[in-house]
Amino acid sequence: MIINLLIFFIIGCVSLLLLTFIVYRTGMVHKTRDSSGQLKNKQSITGIIIIAAVAVLIMSFFVLFGMFSFKKHSGFPEKVLWISILMSALVLFDSFFIDLLVIGTIKPSFLHIPIETNLKTMKEHVKKTFTFGLTIIVPIIIISAGIVQIIQVII
């Protein structure tokens, strides 16, 4: 299990970096976030579609992890536990490495990060991740574990 966890952690880190580069480089980030990096209070249809697509990608990633990592006899609580560990590690990587270091501090010019997005605004973003974000993170973990459980029962 630990090997699968490490493999999927590395895949997840690389995927998060690529996603960050894509959404900033293409300007997609501005469909869902204001110039300071915070989610817009009122989302456009495009913003809603982008957020939904990212949520589906995230859940698909954790379902894939579950399908590679768990045997049929693994219980739902075990799936929730290991998916939670992977999710926690990736949230920490995203928050501290990508958000605070890359976006908030280094701000590579090729990403076209707005001047208003700085370390202070990214600290607020990270704070929201560990408060409000949990209302999104916990359901993603439970739904992903549930999908793996259902697939394993069917197969």
Report the percent of the chain where pLDDT is more than 90.
69
Higher pLDDT residue, 144 or 33?
144
Per-residue pLDDT tens over the stretch 66-110? 999 998 789 999 999 999 999 999 999 999 999 999 999 999 999
Question: How many Å apart are CA 51 and CA 34, to the nearest integer?
Answer: 14
Over residues 34-74, the pLDDT tens digits come to 776 677 888 788 878 888 898 899 999 999 999 999 987 89
